[in-house]
Amino acid sequence: MFRLGKLILICLTCIIATTNSATSRKNVEELNEDNWNRMLTGEWMVEFFAPWCPACKDLEPIWSDLGDRKRELGINVGKVDVTDSPGLSGRFMVTALPTIYHVKDGLFRQYKSPRDRDSLVNFVRSKTWIKVQPISSWKSPTSIQMSIISQFFKMSQVLRAIHTKLMEDFGLPTWGSYLIFAIATIIIGAILGLLIVCVIDFIYPPKPAKSQNYSRKGKETGERKDKNSDDEDFIENVKDDLVDEEGSESGKEPEKSEKSEKAPEASASSPNARKRKPRKDD
């Protein structure tokens, strides 16, 4: 009879403990990449943890107690397993575990105070979070750039799983797996580069070759015209110099006849006489 009563007592204790643990789990909401945007409404305290983290295991009973007090404090308490949701670890830039965030109406503040019960409760009850500078809009988890970073974190998790599968299931050595990744990276980079070039050519198409040839021809003809005009001026200047020299030589010989004296005067006064053009400055 005594053994039966002891057995019943143990069963009741186990049932109560299981009920309490289930209640605590309900009080602490599990968030992931599908429902993480729930923390954008209201006030939240969110923990980022990993099952293998010793510090996270030490914080677990304290965090469960905070979940039990969420109605008293008027907040929501959640937690994120970074091994199941690697994208959120990149979105929130989680570099150490455990990492705690306070979220109020879409404003994110990182909790860096002691992780005991009293400190966590006073942080919420006394509104100490007001003194903490919120994360800038550039690093906000809701920004576009952080969404892109979260996709890279997801991709890294997928690549790690592929690497593990190649080594365990197919028996490839480590260097063989890395070689496959290197070749795939080169091929993907070449394809992306080709796509980028095609997009640039579509947005900014190159000028047609005919118009370029016409413009070159126009420049060449213009240069030829300028060169011809310069040659003509040079020839005219040479002719003027020859005329001046002939005139000076004829002046040296004295002329006795009156006809020869009158000839220059007549040539100067005649309208058909060629006038000397002023020389251009070199």
Contact in structure between 42 and 105 (CB atoms under 8 Å): yes
Helix (H, G, I), strand (E, B), or coil: what is residue 94?
Answer: coil
DSSP state letters, 225-246 = HHHHHHHHHHHHHHHHHHHHHH
Based on the residue annotation, tell me whether 53 is a catalytic residue of this protein.
Answer: yes
Are residues 113 and 129 in contact, defined by beta-carbon separation less than 8 angstroms? no
Q: Enter the DSSP assignment of 137.
A: T
Residue with tokens 């002891």: 6
Compute the half-sphere exposure of residue 264: CA atoms within 13 Å on the CB side of its CA. Answer: 9
Catalytic-labelled residue, pool 11, 14, 56, 198:
56
Indicate which residue of 11, 14, 53, 198 is catalytic: 53
DSSP 149-199: HHHHHHHHHHHHHHHHHHHHTS---HHHHHHHHHHHHHHHHHHHHHHHHHH
Burial of 73 (0-12, 13-18, 19+ CB in 10 A): middle
Assess whether 56 carries a catalytic annotation: yes
Give the catalytic positions in this structure. Answer: 53, 56
